[in-house]
Structure 1
């Protein structure tokens, strides 16, 4: 297991100057510092999950909340009508850079098709 004391944990605990867009007892959302689209929000669980490979039944409520927050934020950012992308990267070949499960909510412009 990788170190769970990373930037996401510090953001969740309000130990950085990052502006939190949404936070409840299960998840936290904030803008990506290297946005890939006009809207690029990260949604993270408040408790450490390293990758998608570490998900288990105890995470169902948190994972559902993460998707609900994506939908809520897409509506708030007015990207729900034209569309948006939700991305989860897993491990090195899946382009995961920070080993703390997170969803990228991307929108605000026409995306390109991704073929893996």
Structure 2
């Protein structure tokens, strides 16, 4: 989508503080961190929300969780633990309508 911020970041049109990239996903530091480590993982394919996912997206979602694990363990070294969050729609706190996961860590997180 031409007006999607995360599509622009994935396409290299908007800069980011990149942590990881492969052919399907990009991970970068959140510009408004909620924890000492706060990284977003986005697919390079536009999918507005988790609620918009269909059976055809199952492989993408599974691969996204695998990348989250890899990034948290191998790139961010969050050995003490981390939280993974997916906000869904405006009522769930989603601000950018391109599915993404938040990796939060670097301290013990409250519930």
Taking structure 1 as the reference length, what is the TM-score of the superposition? 0.87
8 Å CA contact 1:27, 1:65 repeated in 2:
no
What residue number does 2:7 align with? 9
- Give every structure 1 segment of 4 or more consecutive aligned residues whose post-TM-superposition deviation is greater than 3 Å: none
Deviations 1:57-92 (A, max 9, x none): 22122211211111111112121x211000000112
Structure 2 CA distance, aligned partners of 1:24 and 1:94? 28
**Any residues of structure 2 matched to 1:82-101 within 5 Å, and which?**
82-101=80-99
What residue number does 1:37 align with? 35
Q: How many correspondences in the alignment? A: 110
Gaps of 5+ in 1: none
Structure 1 residues 4 and 17: alpha-carbon distance in aligned structure 2, compared to 1, 3 A threshold: closer
What residue number does 1:77 align with? 76
SS of equivalent residue, structure 1 residue 70: helix
What residue number does 2:55 align with? 57
Structure 2 CA distance, aligned partners of 1:33 and 1:60? 29
Gaps of 5+ in 2: none
8 Å CA contact 1:37, 1:108 repeated in 2:
yes
